[in-house]
Chain A
Amino acid sequence: MTDPNSPPASLSQEVEIPESISGLEPVRSVRSPIRLVYDFVPSPPVQEYLRSYSTKKILGHRSPIDGAVFVPPRGVDPRHGVLIEESVELSDKGHVGNFCVTHLPIPGRDDLDTPYVSAWIHLDGASVGFLGLVAGCENDEVHIGMRVQAVWKEDEELGNTAENILYWKPTGEPAVPIEKAGNRAWGQTNE
């Protein structure tokens, strides 16, 4: 069988080094930094969504096909490829659809204590979830179906951003049963 540590015979030719540079140390690597600047302009539905965050409101997007509510807005219903134009105000309460306890810090988020819980938050009225942090309880108290509520930044710190929500804390209400939690709540489509 081929020896993985020796290159193919046809690649092992010696390269002739010119006299003028024969005493020099070969360059082993090149460090080539790249800096690219992009301007992202949110589309109108996303603008509306971000602005509503500054008033501590969360907007969802309702599908014209079957009323499924998507948050954050995706512009289209991904199951059908149709444009979504209707927005609907959602509560800032919901439940945990799925979660895991993460032991790795996130680049740029030194404010997080590890380990922390990242969870799929399913807002009341929404048909899908989005990632959020769960805190305000012990990590091992978090469970699928746990009812949670947003903890917002102070009013003077609010901006046009989903970062207005610091984390989600348990409300103490009875949990949503597993069969009804997360994406399972919607009728499953099978072939």
Chain B
Amino acid sequence: MSKSNSFRDVAVVSVATHQTKILSEVNEVQLMADLISKCRNSAGVTQAEIGFTCSGSSDFLAGQAFSFVHTLDSVGAFPPISESHVEMDGAFALYEAWVKLQIGEVDTALVYSYGKPSAGSIIDVLATQLDPYYVSPLWPDCFSLAALQARLLLDKGLITLEKMAEISMRSQKNGSDNPNAVRSSKDVSFENLMNEPAIVDPLRASDISEIADGGCAVILAAGDKAKSFCGRPAWIKGIDHRVDSHTLGARDLTRSPSAFLAAEKAGINTDRLDLAEIHGMTSAQELILEKEFDLNEKTTVNLSGGSLASDTLMASGLIRISEVASRIISGQADRGLAHATSGPCLQQNLVCVLEGE
């Protein structure tokens, strides 16, 4: 349903991202004003010319109800704009904007998202994402849930501690070239990673994503408009998202059927995939996703270091899209897959396929 054969050609034409361990020099409003204007300037478009704006953020993350109202200031929403917001990762806001462009009444869209996980305690915050009657009163933290998932994978022989450490190593090495990576190391040692004590068994610190504050802005444009904004637009060839059951005991946590389904619907075609940016909270989850997407050695995974290197809740998914898009725009790559996840243990997943001409 979401393969874009019959759909309007829509591309990412410019991106701006910033992640850092703790945002202190500016607040989210100033950060986003900077990123949004950089992103618009790079495409050569003013807010008045943008047909639709959509953002993703979370009140629980910010510790304030209606937190997204403040960042509307960052856009410069006067004269008034056609605008909407999802309380989800910005990747889903991008999906909403892509849908809007499909209708045909507007040709450009601005998408942004941000998060400041350093302000609160991520393990407490994410525990409130769970079934409020049966599960969240037990306060199962996100790392424990991810650890349960990793334990199931290990016990079934689907992954090994060595494979997990390889993923961590890949993230840290790749991240060393990424100014937004908060955890990276050019010469990280496999032995050190293997010998790290478990934080939440079997997960070691390097198996768990490193939290970062930050944000991301992306401009989408359709058809000829895209070509006027960018020499080599990153065309969205397919985009889809699906959700699995919430009840943790009701699904096989060693798999992510929604990731598989979203990839199928988006039409990933792993024969021609240069890059994959996949969004997981742990090395074990990256291994699940690689399997669901059936990635092979032709594809370089998480060249940016991935969310393991720098994980901004609510923006990490959009940032994965921006990482693939920017490499296509610059000519470094031709075709890539970007993925975003939401919910415990890969419950909800979005897959986007991008390609340059």
Contact = CB atoms under 8 A, between A and B. Distances in A.
Taking the complex as a whole, does A directly touch B, i.e. does some CB pair lie under 8 Å apart? yes
A15 interface: no
B119 A81 contact: no
**What does DSSP make chain A's interface, helix, strand, loop or mixed?**
loop
Question: Chain B at the A interface: mostly helix, strand, loop or mixed?
Answer: helix
B174 interface: no
B125 A36 contact: yes
B18 to A, nearest CB: 14
B314 to A, nearest CB: 15
Interface residues of B, number: 33
B25 interface: yes
B269 interface: no
Nearest to A42: B27
Given A41-B24, A75-B33, A82-B37, A34 B128 contact: yes
Contacts of B132: 30, 32
Interface size class of A (residues with CB under 8 A): 20 to 34
Contacts of A78: 72-73, 76-78
Contacts of B124: 35-37
B120 interface: yes
A106 B125 CA distance: 27
Contacts of B26: 43-44, 75
B219 interface: no
B51 to A, nearest CB: 17
A81 B33 contact: yes
Given A30-B137, A74-B73, A83-B34, A36 B25 contact: no
A185 to B, nearest CB: 17
A37 B120 contact: yes
B136 A32 contact: yes
B121 A37 contact: yes
Given A74-B73, A81-B75, A38 B33 contact: no
B76 to A, nearest CB: 3
A37 B123 CA distance: 11
Interface of B: 24-27, 29-30, 33-34, 36-37, 47, 60, 63, 70, 72-79, 118-121, 124-125, 128, 132-133, 136-137
Given A32-B132, A76-B76, A82-B37, 14 more contacts: A30-B132, A32-B136, A36-B120, A38-B63, A43-B26, A75-B26, A75-B30, A76-B30, A76-B73, A81-B33, A81-B74, A81-B75, A82-B76, A83-B30
29 contacts: A30-B137, A32-B136, A35-B124, A36-B60, A36-B120, A36-B121, A37-B120, A37-B121, A37-B124, A38-B120, A39-B118, A39-B119, A43-B24, A43-B25, A44-B25, A44-B26, A75-B26, A76-B29, A76-B74, A76-B76, A79-B78, A80-B76, A81-B36, A81-B37, A81-B47, A81-B77, A82-B33, A189-B78, A191-B79
